[in-house]
Amino acid sequence: MAPVQISRATSENTAKFSRASLSIPIPRHRQTYDASAFMLLQSYRSAAWIDGEIRLAEAQRAMVADEATPELLESLVLTHEMALQLAIRAFEESIGSTAHLQTRIILDRTAVPFFTSDDPVVYTNRFHLQKDVLGGAGLGSSGAVLLMPLTPQLLLVSFDPAIYRLEKRLRELGVIDRVGDVAAFNDLQAVRGHANLYFRDWRDRALVASTYHKVRSSRRERWVDVETLQETAPGSQTFVAVTSGWVHHPDRREILHMQRNIPAPGAWPLLLNYTEHARRARRGANQHSLWK
């Protein structure tokens, strides 16, 4: 992966980040919902999501290439514009799956600012990673967290209230007084950003550079893995991943598996701690038997 460019905030979007008011809003429920929906929309408009959908379409074409007509293969081509349209539809369909998340604006009261990136909405799931939960870790799963910096002092976060509790609050706001928590959220921007990191004050460039170098080994060329699975024998119902030299067997079923990888910071922020309910969850269990 090419190194991230640490850039001055000169584009229109990043200038908005830099000039945003530092006044503290006390969100009403509707405002909070709108902010959460906007963050969700941004997550689907990301380069990583678009890349994953295009790669999935390419894998579908490869799977049927030997038997499909040219017309069918042409119909399976997914352009960038088509992927964007899919993103909008996926956003509309996923609104319901995030209804259980609680959304808060977080105020940074430390001297260390938040910075952002060209892919600012980060989805993570500490619960899934630490508890080795089996099965998917999508937005509707236990422990989901979405976050996005709004200004150098404000962060928007949506989290699963059954799994995490917000440790420090000022009325409707969450409050960060620990530099380590700010560093954790900045880690996620440096890990997950596509190609650029943005910040307001040029004097913070050393902080941004050191954060990037600290987490560089955790960055990925691609955040979505697509692989072909094939039955081990006709009707076996057991599927294994095929290698580059795999042979197509007409009597064995094949499926495509897509997995979105989850980023993690160097250390998890103490602002969001486990609830007692989450602490009791068993390691290595599936979503339906975590507390049995």
pLDDT for the residue 5: 54
pTM of the predicted structure, to 2 decimals: 0.77
pLDDT digits (tens, 9 = 90+) for 230-246: 888 888 888 887 776 66
What separation in angstroms does the CA of 167 have from each of 35, 164, 172, 266, 288?
Answer: 21, 9, 12, 20, 27
pLDDT band per the 50, 70, 90 thresholds, residue 107 = very high
In this structure, of 16-30, 59-73, 207-221, the range with the lowest mean pLDDT score is 16-30
- Is 61:228 a contact under the CB 8 Å cutoff? no
Residue-level pLDDT at 272:
94
Q: What is the mean pLDDT of residues 86-98?
A: 84
pLDDT digit string (tens) for 53-76? 888 888 878 777 777 788 888 888
Give the span between the Cα atoms of 187 and 180, in whole angstroms. Answer: 10
211 Cβ contact partners less than 8 Å away, ≥ 6 residues apart: 115, 183, 186, 187, 190
> Domain limits of the chain?
5-18+25-223+261-279, 226-257
Residue type, 231: E
Among the residue ranges 12-21, 138-147, 180-189, 247-256, the one predicted with the least confidence is 12-21
**Sheet harboring 5-8: ordered strands across?**
5-8, 196-199, 116-117
Q: What residues pair up with 281 in beta bridges, in sequence order?
A: none
- Give pLDDT, residue 18: 39
Percent of the chain with pLDDT strictly greater than 70: 86
Q: Residue 186: CA atoms inside 13 Å, Cβ hemisphere, count? A: 27
* 156-176 mean pLDDT: 92
Q: Sorting pLDDT into bands at 50, 70 and 90, what band is 22? A: very low
The answer on pLDDT for 205 being more than 80 is yes
If one counts every other C-beta atom within 10 angstroms of the C-beta of residue 200, the result is: 21
Q: Which residue do the tokens 């980040």 mark? A: 17
Sign of CA dihedral 109, 110, 113, 116: negative
